[in-house]
Amino acid sequence: MTDQVKYVLDEKDIPETWYNVIADLPEPPHGVLHPATGKPITPDDLATIFPPALIEQEVSDQREIEIPGPVRELYRQWRPSPLFRARRWEKALNTPARIYYKYEGVSPAGSHKPNTAIPQAYYNKTAGIKKLATETGAGQWGSSLAIACSAFDLECLVFMVKVSSEQKPYRKALMQSFGAEVVPSPSARTQSGRDILAKDPDCTGSLGIAISEAVEVAAASADTNYALGSVLNHVCLHQTVIGLECMKQFEMAGDSPDVICACTGGGSNFAGMAFPYLGRNLRGESNTRVVAVEPAACPTLTKGAFAYDYGDTAHLTPMVKMHTLGSSFIPPGFHSGGLRYHGMGPLVSQLLDLQAFEATSVHQLEIFESGVEFAKAELILPAPEANHAVAAARREAIRCREEGVGQTILFNLCGHGHFDMQAYTDYFAGKLKDYEYPAEEIAMALSGLPSVG
Amino acid sequence: MTDQVKYVLDEKDIPETWYNVIADLPEPPHGVLHPATGKPITPDDLATIFPPALIEQEVSDQREIEIPGPVRELYRQWRPSPLFRARRWEKALNTPARIYYKYEGVSPAGSHKPNTAIPQAYYNKTAGIKKLATETGAGQWGSSLAIACSAFDLECLVFMVKVSSEQKPYRKALMQSFGAEVVPSPSARTQSGRDILAKDPDCTGSLGIAISEAVEVAAASADTNYALGSVLNHVCLHQTVIGLECMKQFEMAGDSPDVICACTGGGSNFAGMAFPYLGRNLRGESNTRVVAVEPAACPTLTKGAFAYDYGDTAHLTPMVKMHTLGSSFIPPGFHSGGLRYHGMGPLVSQLLDLQAFEATSVHQLEIFESGVEFAKAELILPAPEANHAVAAARREAIRCREEGVGQTILFNLCGHGHFDMQAYTDYFAGKLKDYEYPAEEIAMALSGLPSVG
């Protein structure tokens, strides 16, 4: 072991393939069902909104999938991302644990999202598509796709949850800087949007509604496709560059993680970090503990049902078997926009159902307290989403102190907080409250689940 | 030459010494004069606001000055910063030039400022100081010092130009996240502030006023010192890690710059990039062209006088011989807060006077146009300040195209624009105008220069 602070790989160490966890599952993935018929979906059904290469990746059981040259070329702009040893935070925590974090905030959007935005834009470009439509909540995904579309000269249309577009004008400006059109959702541009507005003209929107609008636009036009920033198998696949790089970086460090923490919204940053390690566990080559951390105010993995559900509010997306709080669920306006989603990536859900990892939830006061403590030691102010992973790593470090064991903790610092200063301002002003989602409200939202599968 | 996109050095390649250009000047630096007496200042005069090590560095003529271990330790958090080859932008510009940029936006504050904030906090800590007072305009320097103080457990008091503190609440929140106290300037906390407010209760402040307030607070208390983010010799010294790293990175690339561009406000990011190269020129070892770029709306180097002047409005700081627009100069509110300063680092000024480099100015519409074009190719959205260097590099690249010569251009991308989205929003909304400073107004401001030296 060296005394290095950061482990930096060479450009040539960017993985040449993504890792597909489907290859190592002990059972096949659960099928995807057509939203209208409830019957298994065919690749043709998806072809109206996705390019062939991504549909193929969505169902592939090949363990390694090649990263195309032009994608690796763009990855080089910020990848390999650094792995840091949190030596100063360890001291501040007075823990015998060794804490490492993978820092994805070095990307041009400040988060892990460009890892999948770039290949999605690439595959659509090569399929002759002219425009991508998508949704965004906090704006991380929208700005990542805007950047990727700019790199491949595609038009980009972003339906931004209305309350976010009003609260986060700067995220909107970042998307516009890269040429994207940003439309507050619900909008009059789509039938889904008009239906919602007819019922509630003041509706502030939700990710589920914005997805409906983007899917509708993509389905209606032959040269427009849809791009999703989380949940789907191909999105999780693209994010695995995170965990794959970590493995090489731990070799440099002469260490290996005993426990890995990552936050979950739709599951893609968790999958990116954890799937390569879970795959190793599934193949019997290791026994690394993995912890998913979600907000107590949106407790999909810890309090949701594992059932078939829609990805959106208007039920235009296929149904997948996942941990869900029900597609009618509108989470409270807590300060981690990227984690306010009713569902979860189906592969993440299936792996939890198989008890391949643990899930836990944290309240927002704890995550901000953890994030500020981390920042004072490590100098990086994390995004509120990333603070969930910080809080979980801190719990593990304190456990190590109490148990007197020197374990190695790894967490995914999936983004910086430079676009989230309002959240920190509210935190320092004492305006944030913890919010426990009432069991009866969850039960009610779950009672509306489709009866299929 | 390789086909790499970025050149990344190892932690052990962080320079062990800073480079001091005074050692290679063909004449000694011009003396510093006491603000009250106009007589040469003594180290004792400075001891009320600076620690001994920084006073020593301010006047040292030693070529190499050792970087203390704890400073290098913290530099490791983001240094060495990457050097990028702008392959995609070269294509977009259709230029035979090879364009490289050093990217300082990877620092925890998103700019080059922590390069000096960290050693300044360190030297003050080791001198037994408890608190640092400073000023900030756009907030880059204030947040860098807040981060550095947090790392060394010092209190931090930031006088933030009032108009900026209102326009940039998020920068303020970032400083607060690291524990700094932020006071809008002019304030009632100091005599300088109260004097200004008595004359003009609605005064929106200026960097010159905020400096007066911070210096006054530091001079009045034995355990409080003052920290400046630019201009001074020791600040320029600390920034030379930028150019020193570039030299090693160009060795990796098998290339070397024919022309170097960097923007100037107080001169520290320019000095950091250019001084190691200018030193090589001064020693007769090379003949690299160096271009300083400033805003046409604050044309210190291109239209100011080279004369003794004060660094602040209340004339509490020493007088230095520099390019200046007069300490009463309040620049128009254009969108590069970090470059709105009436003066210039005395070493930068002296080197311009010696014709060691060229100075030019650009208008803000050109810099935003250049920055957006750069971002679409290279995926990084620069800070408006950095866009000045982008614009100058672009002019050079176009010249190379027109002349059909394949020169190597290097520029300093001193920060990202994630905190400057209001500027981009205004630019896209067509609200920005170019502003030529009227010659008679400059003449008037210059007429008030002190008659010394």
Question: B421 CB near a chain A CB, below 8 Å?
Answer: yes
Tokens of A406: 């020197």
pLDDT at A104: 97
Residue A78 distance to chain B (closest CA, Å): 9
Question: Mind telling me how many Å the CA of B31 is from chain A's nearest CA?
Answer: 37
Size of interface A-B (CB pairs under 8 A): 120
B118 touches chain A (CB under 8 A): no
pLDDT in tens, B365-413: 999 999 999 999 999 999 999 999 999 999 999 999 999 999 999 999 9
Confidence of residue B1 (pLDDT cuts 50, 70, 90): very low
Distance CA B160, CA A213 (A): 43
B73, B176, B376: residue with CB nearest A428: B176
**Is A428's CB within 8 Å of B174's CB?**
no
Residues B425, A74: C-beta atoms closer than 8 Å: no
What is the share, in percent, of chain B residues with pLDDT greater than 70?
A: 99
Query: Which domains does chain B show, CATH number per domain?
Result: 6-13+68-110+234-447 (3.40.50.1100)
Average pLDDT over residues B165-172: 85
Disruptive mutation site among A152, A381, A428 for chain B (greatest number of B CBs within 10 Å): A381
CA distance A442 to chain B (A): 35
In chain B, residues with a C-beta closer than 8 Å to the C-beta of A151 are 88, 376, 379
How much is the pLDDT for A442?
86
Strands B6-7 and A259-263: unpaired
- Within an 8 Å CB–CB cutoff, is residue A174 touching chain B? yes
Cis peptide before A186 (omega within 30 of 0): yes
The reply to whether residue A73 touches residue B10, judged by beta carbons under 8 angstroms, is no
Give the pLDDT band (50/70/90) at residue B90.
very high
Phi, psi of B287 (to 5 degrees): -145, 50
Q: What is the pLDDT of residues B25-42, one digit of tens each?
A: 999 999 999 999 999 998
Question: pTM of the predicted model, to two decimals?
Answer: 0.95
Per-residue confidence (pLDDT) for residue A405, from 0 to 100: 97
pLDDT at residue A166, as a whole number:
84
DSSP assignments along A166-192, one per residue: HH-HHHHHHHHHTT-EEEEES-TTSHH
* Contact present, A331 and A353 (Cβ < 8 Å): no
Torsion angle defined by CA atoms of residues B149, B152, B153 and B156, in that order, rounded to the nearest 10 degrees: -20
Q: Which residue of A has its CA nearest to B371?
A: A177
Structure tokens at B287: 């003949």
Contact A381, A65 (CB under 8 A): no
Instruction: Establish if A318 touches chain B: CB-CB under 8 angstroms.
Output: no
The per-residue pLDDT of chain B, averaged, comes to 94
What is the sign of the dihedral through the CA atoms of B184, B188, B194 and B199? positive
Please tell me the distance from the alpha carbon of residue B129 to that of residue A311, in angstroms, as a whole number: 57
pLDDT for A453: 57
CA distance A92 to chain B (A): 11
**DSSP structural state of residue A382:** B
d(CA A269, CA A236): 8
A419 interface with B at CB cutoff 8 Å: yes
Comparing A378-382, B176-180, B446-450, which segment has the lowest mean pLDDT? B446-450
Q: Which residues are CB-contacts of B68 (< 8 A; sequence separation ≥ 6)?
A: B119, B122
Q: Is A368 on the interface with B (CB under 8 A)?
A: no
Candidates A73, A150, A380; nearest CB to B108: A380
In this prediction, the answer to ipTM > 0.95 reads no
Q: Hey, are the CB atoms on B174 and A379 less than 8 Å from each other?
A: no
Question: Which of A150, A169, A418 is facing B110, going by the closest CB pair?
Answer: A418
How confident is the model over B134-151, as a mean pLDDT? Answer: 95
Chain position carrying tokens 């470090």: A397
A64-66 vs A83-85, strand pairing mode: unpaired
Flag if B177 and A147 touch (Cβ within 8 Å).
no
What pLDDT digit, counting tens, does each position of A224-249 carry?
A: 999 999 999 999 999 999 999 999 99
How does A279-301 read in b/e, with b if 16+ C-beta sit within 10 Å?
bbbbeeeeebbbbbbbbbbbbbb
Q: Are the beta carbons of B151 and A379 separated by less than 8 Å?
A: yes
In this prediction, the residues of chain A whose per-residue pLDDT falls under 50 are 1
Dist. CA B91–CA B95, nearest whole Å: 7
The pLDDT assigned to A2 comes to 55
| Nearest CB to B169 within list A174, A177, A425 | A425
For residues B325 and B446, what is the distance between their CA atoms, to the nearest angstrom? Answer: 6
